[in-house]
Amino acid sequence: MTEAGVNGARMPSVSAPEPFIQVKSLNYLYPDGTHALKEINLDIPQGVLIALIGQNGSGKTTLSKCLNGLLKPTSGDVIVDGLNSKETSIVQMVRRVGYVFQNPDHQLFNASCYDEIAYGPRNILLPEDEVHERVIEAAKVVGLPEAYFGEHPFFLSKGMRQRVAIASILALRPRVIIVDEPTTGQDARQSYEIMDFLRGLKETLGHTIIIITHDMPIVAAYAERVVVLGRGQIMADGTPAQVFAQADVLRETFLEPPQITQLAQRARNLGFDPGTLTVSHMLEQYRRLAGEPAD
């Protein structure tokens, strides 16, 4: 198809780039017959931070494992970087979509941080000089000093163990990184540190970051897009403000928006935006409604 160009000349149209991940009519049934995912359709571009939310058993983890090839669709398709997961080896899939487990202790098994980060590149039979280059690169990205290379990962703090786990995924140079419950078991400061780090990967290196979480304030503060799952289906998909404004969907999926959003929803009849996500936004609306001049 063409479109008119300068002086009426016909120019080839420029189509939008294909999403990096395309999920088409995905169904997944476990061996016991549990229908975990039902007709999932989802497009995921590069360079975004997406939150998958929903109650336990909603299908979040199953969907994530389908995205990186750990699970193959019962029917439908998952296409990553042009490759259909049903026809692609797990090695090729994890080089494109990395998965960081909820508990880093379930992922780490080598006796040193260096060997942990080097495991993936060695497993795909890269030469040792390139393995070393990737270990240095990944450790630098996650902020792991080389002085830690000889340490056993289990001697580190949980936050540092999580960074080692992420580095082990980065060493494969995937374009998408899925992190399951990145803030579980961490205090507020540690939670925001790890989320700042993940957002930095997106902004500086162009990674797509997908987090699976129950932490609604983290979703409000960091996610650009929110996908709500319930009973194996997508119940809502949009910006945090759009999703948190859908009180019926949240109630049906047993999710609670951040407290500032709940306050705005209760004050909707006073003119407040029910999709409010931050205190500063709430204060701006208050000043406007009160007729106060802007700062």
pLDDT of 140 higher than 50? yes
Q: Which helix (H) or strand (E) holds 110?
A: none
Averaged confidence pLDDT in the chain: 89
Report whether 112 contacts 190 (CB < 8 A).
no
pLDDT of 10 higher than 50? no
- The predicted model gives 183-212 an average pLDDT of 88
CATH code for 16-78+181-247?
A: 3.40.50.300
- The predicted model gives 59-80 an average pLDDT of 96
CA trace torsion 124, 130, 133, 134 (10° rounding): -20
- The predicted model gives 8-25 an average pLDDT of 68
Query: Residues of 193-204 as b/e, b for ≥16 C-beta within 10 angstroms?
Result: bbbebbbebbee
According to the model, what pLDDT value does residue 6 have?
A: 39
CA triplet 28, 49, 199: central angle to 5 degrees? 135
pLDDT of 3 higher than 50? no
According to the model, what pLDDT value does residue 11 have?
A: 44
Least confident among 33-37, 107-111, 130-134: 107-111
Quick: pLDDT tens for 234-287. 999 999 999 999 989 989 998 988 888 888 888 887 888 888 887 888 888 878
pLDDT of 2 higher than 50? no
pLDDT of 5 higher than 70? no
pLDDT of 179 higher than 90? yes
- The predicted model gives 54-72 an average pLDDT of 95
Q: Where are the domains of the chain?
A: 16-78+181-247, 97-173, 258-295
